[in-house]
Chain A
Amino acid sequence: MSEQLPWYELDPVRLVTEQSAMKSRFPQFRLLRQDRDLYWDGYLVANHGKKYRIVVRYPNDYPARPPKVYPIDPVIEIFRDEQAGVLQHQYNDGELCLFHPNDRFFERKSTVVTVVAAAATWFAAYEYWEASGRTIWPGKEAEHKTRQ
């Protein structure tokens, strides 16, 4: 069984574009490589100064699907049902739910910057939720299933 060439070798123009966009908009992020996988690692800083370290992973079939954002520090798990291990606003592997996959939020012309900006919005919602005594999450919530 063999895998397709990684996306950045199929489309090196895309990698150059991604790197340039991140350097311009989120220069505090570093591009890292683990085997075939590429991801960005860095901090987002909220309005009151709290830092959220995230990694942003490119899927193998990028850009057919958007990059995935995982909170690293602090560890964040928002449970819908803690006993069942079901999260809300996150997939069950911890990935942040940033948009519905069919709402065309992430299109061909989008880059990882779109996703990091969406993550910043997610953390703003998260802080609002914390401040509301963990009762109010701005925006609507889709049903989640576990991603592999």
Chain B
Amino acid sequence: MSAAPAMVITLPEPVLEALRATGDAPTPLYGRLLDDGDVAQVAGLAPGDGALLGYAVADLAAGAPGEADGMLRLWLDPTTPEPVAVVLRGGRLLPAGCQVIRAHRDYTSRLKGLFDPGRLAERCVTLIGCGSGGSLAAAQLARCGIGHMRLVDFDRLELHNVARHACDTRDLGRYKTRALRDLLCAASPLVAVTTFEVDVLKDHGTLLAAVAGADLVVVAVDSEPAKLTINRACWERGIPAVYGAAYNRAFGGDIFRARPPDGPCYECLSAVIGELFAPPPTAADDFAVGYADPERMADLIAQPGLGMDVGVIAMLLARVALETLLGDDPAAPEPLPGDWLLFGNRAEWIFKEPLQRHFVAVPRREECPVCNYESYARATLGMSGAEAAAAARRILDDAGSAASEPG
């Protein structure tokens, strides 16, 4: 058995390539020193990359001017791809282990055989709603190797969020988008994240910018008007969307997906949900009338609910999102039997026992004003969409101005 290394050094492949390109020696190495010198994580070659950890040297025995006890020396052996490293301790040079971090090859190595992670590197997913459910789902999606994520939310992280959120107390007071961005970037070296700190009901232009060109939109907002607005924006642009919802006290939740131009859209689900079941108790039910107004969202007290119960729904949301993103990839996870998945953490509402699930086939509505407009116009007014638009224009032209007296 060989002796344990005196220090483990992690070296990102881009830093190694930069070292080979410069050819200079000695070159200072910067990063983080952890666990009383047991681990040195090299982050880069500039002082802004962290503390001075040691030097890349031309000769392991010679060292570098200015080095101190505990620092590492790295030698790029031209005959092997792996650098040789030592650490200086008490005037002695001790052998150290060096792990080159090859992000694209190493990070998704445990996904091989499940699906082709390389397919996700160029994919872009927009998450709207970075609360507990959205953040937990996003953390899983990033870990699948998705290359681009956009995060949309106007809220900041408070202490009562933390018990269920993917982010923690170090992020208190921050926008949830920015805290989650840092978490995702720390969780996956493959992801690039853009954030939008807006309310999608108030800034439609930013909503459109956030979904433009996305391969999938994951919707994890509470507000029904926001979901309907997002549905219209995504459907009109042919962007698939997955909607997650947790019920009151997270006794259960559901996930619905819309895949234009086929199948039902969220407006279809919203219109028929009452015909399929008595409506599920929602988080809004425990609150006064003002709750339904998004203007009042900031006043809301966090709903009680176990983090693990919200987490189960969030994992299912991520799972449906991944399956939708991979589409007809033969190596993708098994196709889902329906577009609407309902899951009960506890035996309430339609769930006869804990941890029960139902898939429901949601019909596409013939009279849906979002995904079936011509049919809707014909069924409602007996005219085409263009004729209805002309009729509406005449009504608007005939409408009086605000100063008029009532008729």
Contact = CB atoms under 8 A, between A and B. Distances in A.
Are A and B interaction partners?
Answer: yes
Interface of A: 1-4, 8-17, 19, 28-34, 38, 41-43, 53, 61, 64-65, 91, 97, 100-102, 104, 107-108, 142-148
B402 interface: yes
Interface in B368-407: 369, 373, 376-377, 380-381, 385, 388-389, 391-393, 395-396, 398-402, 404, 406-407
Residue of A9, A15, A28, A29 with highest tally of chain B CB at under 10 A: A15
B206 interface: yes
Contact of A143 (B288, B377, B406): B288
Nearest to B288: A143
Given A16-B381, A142-B289, A64 B392 contact: no
Given A53-B406, A104-B274, A148-B295, A12 B388 contact: yes
A30 B385 contact: no
B228 interface: yes
Given A101-B284, A108-B270, A33 B401 contact: yes
B207 to A, nearest CB: 8
A33 B270 CA distance: 29
Contact of B279 (A11, A65, A104): A104
A147 B284 CA distance: 15
B204 interface: yes
A30 B380 contact: no
> Which 10 pairs, one residue from A and one from B, show the smallest C-beta to C-beta distance?
A145-B290, A12-B392, A2-B205, A101-B292, A34-B402, A148-B295, A4-B204, A64-B225, A30-B407, A61-B225
Contacts of B377: 13
Nearest to B274: A104
Contacts of A91: 289-290
B195 interface: no
B325 to A, nearest CB: 27
Contacts of A14: 369
B271 interface: yes
Nearest to B278: A104
A75 to B, nearest CB: 15
28 contacts: A2-B205, A3-B204, A4-B204, A12-B385, A13-B369, A13-B381, A15-B395, A16-B388, A16-B391, A28-B407, A29-B407, A30-B400, A31-B400, A32-B401, A38-B399, A53-B406, A61-B229, A64-B225, A64-B229, A65-B292, A101-B289, A101-B291, A101-B292, A142-B289, A145-B289, A147-B293, A147-B295, A148-B296
A143 B284 CA distance: 13
B232 interface: yes
Residue of A12, A100, A143 with highest tally of chain B CB at under 10 A: A12
Nearest to B369: A11
A2 B407 contact: no
Nearest to A147: B293
Interface residues of B, number: 50
B24 interface: no
A82 B293 CA distance: 24
A15 B380 CA distance: 11
Interface in B354-375: 369, 373
B406 A144 contact: no
B201 interface: yes
B392 A8 contact: yes
A31 B399 contact: yes
B290 A15 contact: no
Contacts of B402: 32-34
Nearest to A60: B201
Interface string B224-235: 110011001000
Nearest to A27: B407
Interface in B218-266: 224-225, 228-229, 232
B392 A42 contact: no
A108 B282 contact: no
Contacts of A61: 201, 225, 228-229
Contact of A12 (B284, B293, B389): B389
Contacts of A29: 406-407
Nearest to B271: A108
Nearest to A101: B292
A145 B396 contact: no
Interface in B173-212: 198, 201-206
Contacts of B292: 65, 101-102
Nearest to B292: A101
Nearest to A17: B380
Nearest to A5: B204
